[in-house]
Structures are given as structure tokens and as C-alpha cells.
Amino acid sequence: MTKPIVEASPRSTARIVGFFWLMTIVLGSFALVGDKLVVAGDAAATAANILAHESSFRLGLAANLVAGLCYLTATVFVYALLKPVNRNVSLLAAFFSLAGCAVSGLTLVFQLAPLAVLKGASYLSAFPVEQLQAQAFTFLSLRAQAFYIGHVFFGLHCLLVGCLIFRSGYLPRVIGALMVCAGLGWLTMSFSNLLLPPLGHSLDPFIIIPGAIGELSLTLWLLVRGVNVRKWERRVLATG
């Protein structure tokens, strides 16, 4: 009577990871709506867009917040799913993800700040409109920098998760290889935009592709196929 429960445990964990990772991807994509309101190098136009589409801007912020919580939840279950391969490496991967989520929380503050500046208290009327617009634009620029810093940690998380999947035996090696490529893609995107922004901006459309393929492949596999339970149990027994 206990065998079905044992077998259901890794499958349930895999489904949970797949669901929350999928929600992260969907909500993260929806959150990009707010980024479209930013006009490069034009603080006045950006401020006008934000005020004209305030509801969309706030929805993007809310989507970012929920996406972060979903990724945080997925991280906990990814650790549990891959712990039989190597507990220490799985724990390190979880640490990188938690660090990335913490930095993402900071980006939400920078994302909310423009509204506080542009629609703030009456005492802000002492400042010229152009200065308030410039401050709002500065906050958005800081958010972009924090976004890339956060993706350094997310890239390391995906890289280690990919290595663990490749070695696991109960998940396809090709999925692990794709996740390694995803991690390397996020790292390349982050460092290129932080160190050489013009190069980073030109590479972004191409770098996003391996990241999206890797994470989406893992998500769909976990939701549709899950894990090989017998091989997962052998790993658990082998690690005591």
C-alpha cells in the first residue's frame, strides 16, 4: 500500500516544479509590458507613457512580484527533486536562486519609485517637472542594472540545475544540456549588458533564445513526463 505513495512523491514534486516554473515564464513575459513604456534616452516621453498607461505599468509590477514568488517556490522543489544527485550542489543552486530573487525584489522598488516621483505628495511640486521626470528615468535605469545583476544569479542557478539534471539519470540528459545552455545564455546577457551595454543590447534578442528553450523544455518535460521514479529511488538509496 505504501509503494504508490513513494512513487507519487517525485512525480508530484516534478509537477509542482513544472507548474511554478511555467507560471514564472508566463508572468515574467506579461511583466515586459511595462518595459515597452520606456523610451530610450527620453525621460519626458517615458514619464508621459507611464502616466498614460499607469494601470498597465502597475499590472506589470504585480506580475513581476508574483513571478518572483513562483520562482522562489519552484526553487524549493527543484532542490528537493535534485538533492539525490548531489545535495551540496543542489543547495548551492538554491542559494544562487534565492540571491537572484532577493535582487529581483530590489528591482520592484526601483520599478515602483517612478510612480512615487511622478504622482507623489504635494511637496514634490517644489521640484521642476523636468527634474522629476529625470529622477523617474534614473530609477528605471537602476532597475535595468539590477535586473541584469539578478540574472547573474539566475544564470548560475540554471547552469547548476542543468549539470545536476545531466548527471541525474532520472531526467533526460538533453534537458540538462539545454539548461546549461540557458544558464550560459543568461550569464552572457547579464555580463555583456553590465560591462558593454551597446554589445549587450545587440545580443539580447539572440541570447534570450537558448534561455527560453532550456527553461521551457524543462518545464514541459516535468509537467508532461515527470521523472523516472525507479531511477530516482535508486539515487536516493545510493545516497543513503
State the CB neighbour count (10 A cutoff) for residue 11.
16
Total residue length of the chain = 240
pTM above 0.75, yes or no: yes
14-38 mean pLDDT: 87
What pLDDT shows up at residue 172?
A: 94
State the CB neighbour count (10 A cutoff) for residue 131.
13
> 17 falls in which pLDDT band (50, 70, 90)?
very high
Report if residue 240 sits inside a domain.
no
Report if residue 237 sits inside a domain.
no
185-202 mean pLDDT: 89
Report if residue 212 sits inside a domain.
yes
Q: What is the tally of structural domains in the chain?
A: 1
Report if residue 188 sits inside a domain.
yes
Q: Which of 96-100, 110-114, 207-211, 214-218 has the lowest mean pLDDT?
A: 207-211
The C-alpha cell at 24 is: 514564472
Phi-psi label, residue 27: left if phi above 0, alpha if psi -120 to 50, beta otherwise: alpha
Q: Which residue has the higher pLDDT, 3 or 23?
A: 23
Minimal CA–CA distance to 21: which of 201, 137, 158, 129?
158
Report if residue 194 sits inside a domain.
yes
Flag whether pLDDT at 34 surpasses 90: no
The DSSP letter of residue 7 is H
What pLDDT shows up at residue 1?
A: 39
> 206 falls in which pLDDT band (50, 70, 90)?
confident
Report if residue 238 sits inside a domain.
no
Report if residue 131 sits inside a domain.
yes
What pLDDT shows up at residue 8?
A: 45
Q: Which domain holds residue 211?
A: 3-231
Report if residue 236 sits inside a domain.
no
